[in-house]
Structure 1
Amino acid sequence: MSNRREYTVFQGRAGDHNDLAMPGARAIGHALARRTGVAPCVVGTPEPALNTGWREELDAALPALRHLQTRIDAVLSRRSVSIAATNRCATSLATLPAVAKHHPSACIVWFDAHADLNTPDATTTGYLGGLALAGPLGMWDTGLGAGLMMDQIVLVGQRDLDPFEQDLINRHHIPHIQPQQGLGAKLRAAIAGRAVYMHLDCDVLNPGIVPTDYVVEGGLSLDDLRACCDVIAEHQFIGMEIAEFQNAWVQNGDPVSPDPLLDALAPLLADGPPVSGRL
């Protein structure tokens, strides 16, 4: 596994409720470029949010998601570390099957206020993002593949769980780590020496730290996130996707810098000569 980082910004539809997360992903890409001197590969073209049910959202998103999957597959085939800024969690429907293909035993550390373990039959909201982890686990057919197993998942920061999801967590003994004393030690024990791929939904953080679509009290601080990144950096690091960072608190509001968030992620953004790529 190389230390080389390759950067991707996703700009296509992925079940967006509003139009704030595509520019949020773009802002993260610009901030990463300033830090590294390398422009990221941009996948997809911004389109207005549909804010509709999962089936319509998936049908609209599939062309861009397939493009994203091709990009992540190419990055991982080069044994590079993949750093992706994406708009919504539903992009994991494309990225995680690529991770499973190249790193079939990887530990997937899922930072999120939600577990995103619902299926089309179980969802009460119809939100595509709420199905984002269940698809790569093979719990429903997304059209983008699967490949992950339950014992590869570590959940961090979830505090808004549906009964269906809680039952899955209990039945499969999925580690579920809460923001509390000893967070780093519990995460280290759950990873158990495996290679790590990290998913970050910014709503895992305490409300008010960065703009997100969902607001759920009782989240991580930036110091908590930094401590977790320090632990992950002790392991073979496959990559990460940063999702659900909105560029403003309200539509047409003043832009919010992603730099404090990236400072917390710094242990995983360093090391090795970064490279960009084009499809």
Structure 2
Amino acid sequence: MRFELTLFQGRAGDHNDLAMAGARSLAIAMQTLLKGELAVIGTPKPALNMNWDVELESARSELAQLQARINDIYARGWRPLSATSRCAASIATLPAVVRHHPDACVVWFDAHADLNTPLSTTSGYLGGLALSASLGLWESGFGNGLSFGNVVLIGQRDMDPFELEVMRDHNIKHIPPNASITEVLREAIDGRSVYVHLDCDVLDPGIVPTDYIHDGGLSLNDLREAMIVIGEHSVIGIEVAEFQDAWAPGGGPVSPSPLLEALLPAIFSR
């Protein structure tokens, strides 16, 4: 199965406008690498930087288009490789993954667990609700069905008490950034097919521009080693979020090439 490329350019709870441009830069690099067609979903608009409910309603139409795109890719027997700007796009993508691959392992690279709900969130940030929606902890309107047992969290180091409670109560596998990733990850995947979600803030600050900055993250070599393990399995899709194209508004563009190179073992998996 080959990958089909998707670039999501709509709003998804953005704090600023840098990830829309970053997603485009990353998608073009992916297209150059794979020499395939690139489908563009949504149109860039200025960030709203508002509460999760306002952001979700603003994004709903284009997220529905993104979900339809992922469903279509799977229905034709191919795999999605997506640049999705913000993590909140996963509210639409993950239910499509589960619909076609209900037993797949979702490996969630992120500095955060994104397991908050509308009732637990203290920030009101839509991205902080991105994974919990597909787990059925709240109703987004895009579906759910993801099993807690099919989630592996990697690199989380900024979690709220509610998220820690969810992780404990549902026995969600968590590999912290200071762990020996390879063997633990291989054991956690346990031979299953894998869908990869990568939020770039899982990396140590200063490696690539992201919205959130938390010390103690993964190195690019850590990420590549994890992708080697993932590449030993059937990779059914990859989405990359939160790559910003500059360190600050008005700054010069930052190349996504080092990030993309770290992903190659999973992209060119068996």
Bin of the TM-score, shorter chain as denominator length:
over 0.9
Residue 239 of structure 2 is matched in structure 1 by: 241
**Number of the residue aligned with 1:156:** 154
DSSP-derived class of the 1:265 partner: helix
- Within a 5 Å distance, the mapping from 1:256-275 to structure 2 comes to 256-270=254-268
* Residue of structure 2 in register with 1:191 after alignment: 189
Identity %: 57
Cα deviation digits, residues 124-146 of structure 1 (max 9, x gap): 00000000000011111101111
Give, in whole Å, the separation in 2 of the partners of 1:36 and 1:104. Answer: 27
CA–CA separation in structure 2 for the residues paired with 1:143 and 1:173: 26
Aligned to 2:29: 31
Three-state SS of the structure 1 residue aligned to 2:153 is strand
* Equivalent-residue separation in structure 2 for 1:181 and 1:201 (angstroms): 18
> What is the TM-score normalised by the length of structure 2?
0.98
Partner of 2:84 in structure 1?
A: 86
Residue 12 of structure 1 aligns to a residue whose secondary structure is coil
Alignment of 1:181-220 (within 5 A): 181-220=179-218
SS of the residue aligned with 1:65? helix
How many Å separate the matches in 1 of 2:11 and 2:249? 18
What is the CA–CA distance in structure 2 between the aligned matches of 1:32 and 1:114, rounded to whole Å?
25
1:182 is displaced (CA, Å) by 2.3
- How many residue pairs match? The answer is 270
Question: For structure 1, which segment, 172-181 or 132-141, has the greater mean C-alpha deviation from structure 2 after superposition?
Answer: 172-181
DSSP-derived class of the 1:117 partner: coil
Is 1:40–2:33 an aligned residue pair? Answer: no
Does 1 or 2 have the higher relative contact order (CA < 8 Å, sep 6+)? 1
Deviates more, 1:122-131 or 1:71-80: 71-80
Which portions of structure 1, spanning 4 or more consecutive aligned residues, are displaced by more than 6 angstroms? none
Q: Is the 8 A contact 1:84 1:242 kept in 2?
A: yes
Report how far residue 76 of structure 1 moved. 1.1
Contact kept in structure 2, 1:247 and 1:256, CA below 8 Å:
yes
Alpha-carbon shift at residue 180 of structure 1 (Å): 3.0
* CA distance in structure 2 between the aligned counterparts of 1:82 and 1:190, rounded to whole angstroms: 23
* 1:32 Cα offset (Å): 1.1
Q: What CA distance in whole angstroms lies between the structure 1 residues aligned with 2:240 and 2:32?
A: 17
Q: Deviations over 1:1-41 (max 9, x none)?
A: x2x11010000010000000000000011111221222311
Matched-pair contact (CA < 8 Å) for 2:231–2:268:
no
Q: Is the 8 A contact 2:234 2:269 kept in 1?
A: no
Give the aligned partner of residue 250 of structure 2.
252
Bigger Cα displacement from structure 2, 113-122 vs 28-37:
28-37
Aligned residue number for residue 16 of structure 2: 18
1:248 aligned partner, one-letter code: A
Task: Name the Cα RMSD after superposition.
Answer: 1.0
Q: Tell me the distance in 2 between the aligned counterparts of 1:168 and 1:181.
A: 21
Structure-2 residue corresponding to 1:146: 144
| 8 A Cα contact 1:233 1:268, kept in partner | yes
Any gaps of 5 or more consecutive residues in structure 1?
273-279
Q: Does 1:105 align with 2:103?
A: yes
Q: For residues 269 and 46 of structure 1, what CA distance do their matches in structure 2 show?
A: 27
**1:66 alignment partner, one of 36, 59, 64:** 64
Q: Deviations over 1:69-127 (max 9, x none)?
A: 00000011122121000110000000000000000011100000000000000000000
The structural deviation recorded for 1:270 is 2.3
Structure 2 unmatched runs, 5+? none
Q: 1:175 to 1:242 in 2, by over 3 A?
A: same
